[in-house]
């Protein structure tokens, strides 16, 4: 009787193991992701839009009439600076866009003179060119 019980348990466990092996592994895997593909797509689109806005801000900053004149006086090609802006990484671009935004706001508010803004523009242009040449 003790031997029959052992055989029955062994047969039962064997059948359970075979049944588990026959089931697809996807039944045991969790079907929900931490981040859904739609969320990833939305974040990628938002990041791309922010990057494009930053590129536009910096390019507008270095292509205005004051900027063009300041860059030409410093013997820096304004077109080269404008074309180099998209080559910056997201962090560098965001920092320069914030600085350009602030400089334009301060200039409009009268906190900066034309000379101050010209020096800032030359500094931003040099930063852009150095970063692009270094990478």
Residues 18-39 pLDDT 10s: 777 776 665 555 556 677 788 8
Residues (pLDDT < 50) of the chain are: none
Phi-psi region of 110 (alpha: psi -120 to 50; beta: other; left: phi over 0): left
CA distance 22 to 46: 44
pTM of the model: 0.66
Contacts of 60 (CB under 8 A, 6+ apart): 100
Are 93 and 85 contacting, i.e. CB atoms less than 8 angstroms apart? yes
Closest Cα to residue 121, out of 53, 87, 74?
Answer: 74
């Amino acid at each position: 009787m003790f031997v029959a019980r052992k055989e029955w348990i062994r047969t039962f466990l064997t059948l359970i193991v075979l049944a588990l092996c026959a089931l697809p592994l996807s039944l045991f895997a969790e079907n929900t992701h931490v981040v859904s593909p739609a969320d990833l797509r939305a974040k990628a689109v938002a990041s791309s839009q922010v990057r494009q806005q930053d590129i536009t801000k910096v390019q507008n900053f270095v292509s205005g009439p004051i900027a063009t004149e300041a860059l030409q006086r410093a013997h820096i090609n304004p077109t080269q600076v404008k074309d180099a802006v998209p080559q910056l990484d997201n962090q560098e671009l965001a920092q320069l866009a914030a600085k350009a935004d602030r400089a334009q706001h301060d200039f409009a508010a009268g906190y900066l003179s034309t000379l101050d803004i010209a020096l800032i523009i030359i500094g931003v242009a040099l930063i852009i060119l150095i970063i692009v040449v270094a990478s």
